[in-house]
Copies of this chain bind each other. A is one copy, B any other.
Amino acid sequence: MDRLLYGVAYYDEYMPYERLQQDIEMMKAAGINVVRIAESTWSTYEPQKGVFNFSSVDRVLDAMHEAGIRVIVGTPTYAVPAWLVKEYPDVLAETPRGRGKYGPRQIMDITHPAYLYYGERIIRKLLERVKDHPAVIGYQTDNETKHYHTAGPNVQLQFVKYLREKFGSLDEINRRFGLDYWSNRVDSWEDFPSVIGTINGSLGAEFAKFQRKLVTDFLAWQVGIVNEYKRPDQFVTQNFDFEWRGYSYGVQPDVDHFEAARPFDVVAVDIYHPSQDQLTGAEISFCGDMARSMAGGGNYLVMETQAQGFPQWVPYPGQLRLQAFSHLASGAKMVSYWHWHSIHNSFETYWKGLLSHDFQPNRVYREAQTIGRDFERLSDRLADLKITNRVAMLVSNESLTALDWFPIPGGKIKYNDIVRRMYDALYKMNVGVDFIHPGSEDLERYKLIVVPALYAAPDELLHRLNAYAAGGGHVVYTFKSGFADECLKVRTSVQPGIIGEACGIGYSLFVEPNGVALKGEPFGVGRDGHGIESWMELIQPTTAEVLAYYDHPYWGGYAAITRNRYGEGVAYYIGCMAGEAVMAGLLEQAVKEAGLWGKDQELRFPLIVKSGVNRHGRVIRYVLNYSGEAATVDYPHADAVELLSGRTVRTGERVTAEPWGVLILEEQGKD
């Protein structure tokens, strides 16, 4: 792992005919230096209970090793064999929609002892087989693990025990969850109903948290097994994924990423995103920032990303390169495609790989060859990029779940939409972001913390945020923040509760906007950008300055956006779902006020600039042109070498980024 990795997922098991040597030759021609194998094909390795056949693993390891290609071995537990389900049908998770049916992956009860018993056995058998192989550099446990909504009677039983452990008594639960409502009290543990039907958001959200804990526990259990086998030079990782909206969109609802990532040596993620005319790089940046943050600021692996992907994703010329370097620019040390070849049968036949079903070199493959060459050539300058940000975004699984239980009217705006509204605005003004979570310490590392819809949060966190502001920090909150405690109980104080102090505001009423805009044209957004959506809080400032009022015949006296000096710091509050332009204008003001506005921020999307420091202590600056038009920049930093071309670029010199093009500038100086 001393160098940049460029990889693919490789499935010898799915090949329609013998191709191994041919494939390896094509890989080498494309600079592929790592493959991931084995994570999907339990039934091939154990075709009958206790009958093992690792021949496809053996031969791939040997051949890869011979070719100098490294291998990451996945444990094959995320898709269960037919024989296991036939013998133990309740291995399939019972969810709110009933018991699953055999066929798809990721349908099992991850707490079921038959699954765990046979899962452990196949893991151990596989690891015994591969652990000493020189090709193996690491392991992936399972794949895109989630809880699959397992909620059957056995899971309910575990949940009740979890509740007792956590809350101590039914009285406490009844009180904190408000179970008197609609006669939902439970006054004897035996009476605890399955929460599948519950209408109590506090209970439902606690169950979701419990389900996320099942994922954390399951992964830690697998890591424990792998750790018994792995060599010191090997790592163990997991391929985390994100909220899926046809592509990687936002915070993963079903996993507590920060908790689940702890036991791993390295964080890996998969990142899929719109392409062609819809390619913006925002998902590459968002997911990369999340992975890097999960890794405590370290580098991460992009275990899966698209090569051709879906018909609507086949990259335009230049895009595959742009994507690959964008991953590096966010701190990735591996970029690996899912997958090498397009599969000829079953569910993902149209989720295409680097090669089409015909295995012929194609336009996309040929572009990959250039990437492989450049990764190889520039590995020493680009690997181990150290990225340090002064802006953080505080995200919260609890708030995400809470807003699923208490949705914003209209159903259009969910938690991750608010996250992305803020994130994308920062991304487009080239402000680098770390993610933090309710348990994060050291808030003071950041000059500015942006906080989307922190709906459900303990008092402690909110007091800590107030203290952060008082101590000189800058905070930007959106609507819905501070509203409820960690049990989703709405605070009994004037809203937004505790943070109202730092924000210098209060409100008792909130309404749904219907064609409402902000008065005037705040932040110079013009007539097109000042409309608001879905939610408006009728804010009354106490000490805050009003940055925008609502334009409404009856609610025009209430504030929409406020700013408040608090101690040494500043707290902003956005009381409505503002449009992109308003969000951008406000965040620009906040970034400037926090003293974080520099020359790169003067550039804007589609020109994305990202920077860090390489292993040689030099600043590496990526200029990424997310556009089909060439773009010119008057380079504002210290003299640098543009690494792809090898050309020196002087301060103030005009440089051109080609359509969908990349420049990589290494500042010169001490080495």
Contact = CB atoms under 8 A, between A and B. Distances in A.
Interface in A66-109: 76, 79-83, 85-86, 100-105
A406 interface: yes
A312 B513 CA distance: 8
Interface stretch (A342-350, A393-401, A635-643): A342-350
A342 B495 CA distance: 13
A508 B360 contact: yes
Contacts of A183: 40-44, 76, 79-81, 105
A74 to B, nearest CB: 12
B182 A79 contact: yes
Contacts of A364: 509
A442 interface: no
Interface string A493-515: 11100000000000011111010
Contacts of A314: 509-511
Interface residues of A, number: 97
Interface string A336-374: 000000111111111000001111101110000000000
B180 A103 contact: no
A646 interface: no
A494 B191 CA distance: 62
Nearest to A48: B187
Interface stretch (A57-65, A132-140, A196-204, A601-609): A196-204
Nearest to A348: B181
A493 B358 contact: yes
Contacts of A554: 316-317
Interface in A174-214: 177-188, 190-202
Q: Give how many copies assemble into the complex.
A: 3
A345 to B, nearest CB: 3
Interface in A296-341: 308, 310-312, 314, 316-317
A89 to B, nearest CB: 10
A553 interface: yes
B312 A191 contact: no
B181 A343 contact: yes
Interface stretch (A10-18, A224-232, A619-627): A10-18
Contacts of A568: none
A190 B16 contact: no
Interface stretch (A283-291, A426-434, A484-492): A484-492
Contact of A186 (B80, B82, B190): B82
A196 B101 contact: yes
A202 B406 CA distance: 41
Given A86-B193, A312-B514, A492 B359 contact: yes
A201 B41 contact: no
A104 B198 CA distance: 7
A107 B476 CA distance: 44
A203 to B, nearest CB: 8
A631 B321 CA distance: 62
Given A492-B357, A509-B356, A83 B362 contact: no
Contacts of A180: 13-14, 41, 43-44
Contact of A358 (B179, B316, B359, B495): B495
B187 A47 contact: yes
A193 B346 contact: no
Contacts of A652: none
A204 B13 CA distance: 21
A380 interface: no
Which of A76, A191, A342 neighbours the largest number of chain B CB atoms within 10 Å of its CB? A191
Contacts of A103: 184, 193, 195-200
Contact of A345 (B79, B177, B343, B357): B177
Given A196-B101, A311-B409, A86 B490 contact: no
A557 to B, nearest CB: 10
A347 B82 contact: no
Contacts of A358: 491-495, 508
Contacts of A276: 511, 514
A347 B409 contact: no
A277 interface: yes
A535 interface: yes
Given A310-B512, A343-B178, A514-B276, A184 B349 contact: no
A184 B409 contact: no
Q: Which 8 A-B pairs have the closest CB atoms?
A: A178-B345, A101-B197, A103-B197, A79-B183, A47-B187, A43-B185, A102-B193, A43-B183
Interface of A: 13-14, 16-17, 40-44, 47-48, 76, 79-83, 85-86, 100-105, 177-188, 190-202, 276-277, 308, 310-312, 314, 316-317, 342-350, 356-360, 362-364, 406, 409, 487-495, 508-512, 514, 535, 553-554, 628
17 contacts: A16-B492, A41-B183, A43-B180, A43-B187, A79-B184, A81-B185, A82-B184, A82-B185, A103-B197, A103-B199, A199-B347, A200-B345, A200-B346, A276-B511, A356-B508, A357-B490, A358-B508
